[in-house]
Homo-oligomer: A and B are copies of this chain.
Amino acid sequence: MRSIMQKVEVLKTIAHPVRIRILEELLKGVKCVSDFEDFLEISQPNVSQHLSLLRRQGLIDHYMDGRLRCYFLKDPIIPDLLEILKKDYIEELPAPACCPVTKKGTYPGTRHR
């Protein structure tokens, strides 16, 4: 099981527009740095920076393909997370029945919304 801090690390690592797009792209298959450079329209050093953060966190890995570096997904949590983020949720969660007992005792409650 991941510790709380490991969970936080994974989430923080993914929580960036460029990195989400990199991961979504890697879900489709292997890509090299210059592929991302075109696709994301950001500078090469910036692409490398994001890739190397993702790699440090163990979320992706790469192999050498001549002079290209081919990146691919490594941590199995990624496809699952991306799928949930893509999913359409229609309904909110059911609001709990009013009013469960809390530490301080129960009062007649009025719903906020």
| A contact residues vs B (CB 8 Å cutoff) | 1-2, 4-5, 7-8, 10-12, 14-17, 20-21, 29-32, 34-35, 38, 61-68, 70, 72-81, 84-89, 91-93, 95-96, 98-100, 102-104, 106-113
Contact = CB atoms under 8 A, between A and B. Distances in A.
B102 A70 contact: yes
7 contacts: A12-B12, A30-B99, A32-B102, A35-B102, A65-B99, A76-B93, A77-B89
A96 B29 CA distance: 8
Nearest to A67: B107
Given A11-B12, A74-B95, A80-B84, 4 more contacts: A7-B85, A11-B11, A61-B113, A68-B102
